[in-house]
Amino acid sequence: MAAALFAWPQRLQLFRALRLAQSLPAINLNVTGAAMVATEAEFDNAKDKVKTLKNDPGNEVKLKMYALFKQATQGPCSSPKPSMLDFVNKAKWEAWNSLGKTSKEEARQKYVDLVQTLDSTEVPQQRKATATEDVKSSFQTLIVTTENNITTIMLNRPAKKNAISFTMYEEIMKALEQAAKDDSALTVFTGKGDHYCSGNDLSNFTDIGPEGMEQKSKNSGGLLKRYISHYIDFPKPLIGVINGPAVGVAVTVLGLFDIVYSTDKATFHTPFSQLGQSPEGCSSYTFPKIMGTAKANEVLLFNKILTAAQACELGLVTEVFPDSTFQKEVWKRLHIYAKLPKNSLALSKQLIRGVEKETLHAVNAQECERLVERWLSEDCMSAIMNFFEKKSKL
């Protein structure tokens, strides 16, 4: 065998170069249109950041970085193709050449984006999570733990069916920011008690301060937009472990999750029209895409409550488990998944979701704008008053 002619280090280099060359077609360097253009200063910062990365991003990513760097600084590849036997330089040349006529500006932006992604998925070297470590005990409405490479964000207002109060919105965003940076591979959402989550805490609407209704509505729109953005931008696999009924925004954001496991006791309900409101969580885009428009309309317009089996059939839920074995089976599976290489999981998730990020942010902005109007409507006010009036009569 030809490889036997090489000494060990050379064989290793040859092997790596061959793998690089073989893997090239799988790397999509011609990612479509970046909307912004990074400045020279941002590009220089990214160059410096590369030197401080602690984790080796792997050869494929390094090759991609190399190609974007060359394109950004020298433009399209015009040097002659290295010989067949010059494996490493041939792989580099092919990566650069595959960028074709991509402009220097676009390559610069993509280089900056790639470095940012690597930086955000950096695994801190020193920090080791201990079993059942409570990551942040400062949360009032959540229990957040990291164990066996999994960060779990458990909604913790069981007496209110885990309704999302203003405090909980802020805490979830904080927990997601921390989970994005911690050394876990997966982030799991679940609920404490018999419900997963009853959606927006309806008393968020009744608690009007001196700012008045209109300003309150605008502030809430801003909060919701930030909240949903945290899911759109979350860099690691996000998994829903749906332990019971889910309502409203707790359902709509599931379209932004990467996997959703559900007990057969769960139901999925988005009672927007009933409440004089309109869809949020990017569901006006993700649900028709996931379920098909005709099915999504029944859910989003006509408040159809889905059983777990129906949600699974429509593609919102990945798999349904009998309630008696739900926790055991799901966690067994998640523990296996969490042992996979975390950087690879994060980068793959970002590749899958990255294509749509801009669209999702635009949809989110539009949905929140509509809601700010809807929250001020007569329909919405009376539906919320009805909910609390019915409660007080019981």
8 A C-beta contact, residue 318 and residue 260 = yes
Nearer to ligand COA, 207 or 211 (CB): 207
Q: Interface with ligand COA includes 198 (CB under 6 A)?
A: yes
Helix (H) or strand (E) holding 180: helix 166-181
B/e letters for 69-99, b = 16+ CB within 10 Å, e = fewer, are bbbbeeeebeeeeeeeeebbebbbbbbbbbb
Which residues, 18 to 77, sit near ligand COA by CB under 6 A? none
Q: What is the dihedral of CA 297, 300, 302, 305, to 10 degrees?
A: 110
Q: How far apart are CA 382 and CA 394, in angstroms?
A: 18
Q: Interface with ligand COA includes 271 (CB under 6 A)?
A: yes
Q: How far apart are CA 136 and CA 189, in angstroms?
A: 15
Task: Report which DSSP code applies to 126.
Answer: S
Nearer to ligand COA, 161 or 236 (CB): 161
Which positions from 158 to 187 touch ligand COA by CB under 6 A, shown as an x/- string? --xx-x------------------------
Please identify which residue in 13, 89, 156, 203 interacts with ligand COA, judged by CB under 6 A.
203
Query: Which of these ranges, 58-66, 194-202, 287-295, 350-358, lies near ligand COA under the rule CB under 6 A?
Result: 194-202
Which positions from 126 to 165 touch ligand COA by CB under 6 A, shown as an x/- string? ----------------------------------xx-x--
Please identify which residue in 114, 232, 247, 253 interacts with ligand COA, judged by CB under 6 A.
247
Task: Assign 379 to helix, strand or coil.
Answer: helix
**Minimum separation from the CB atom of position 43 to ligand COA (A):** 44
8 A C-beta contact, residue 68 and residue 110 = yes
Nearer to ligand COA, 150 or 197 (CB): 197
**Minimum separation from the CB atom of position 389 to ligand COA (A):** 11
Please identify which residue in 51, 101, 128, 391 interacts with ligand COA, judged by CB under 6 A.
391
Q: What angle do CA 129, 113, 60 make, to 5 degrees?
A: 75
Nearer to ligand COA, 151 or 270 (CB): 270
Task: Assign 262 to helix, strand or coil.
Answer: strand
Residue numbers of the site for ligand COA (CB under 6 A)? 160-161, 163, 198-203, 247-248, 271, 275, 391
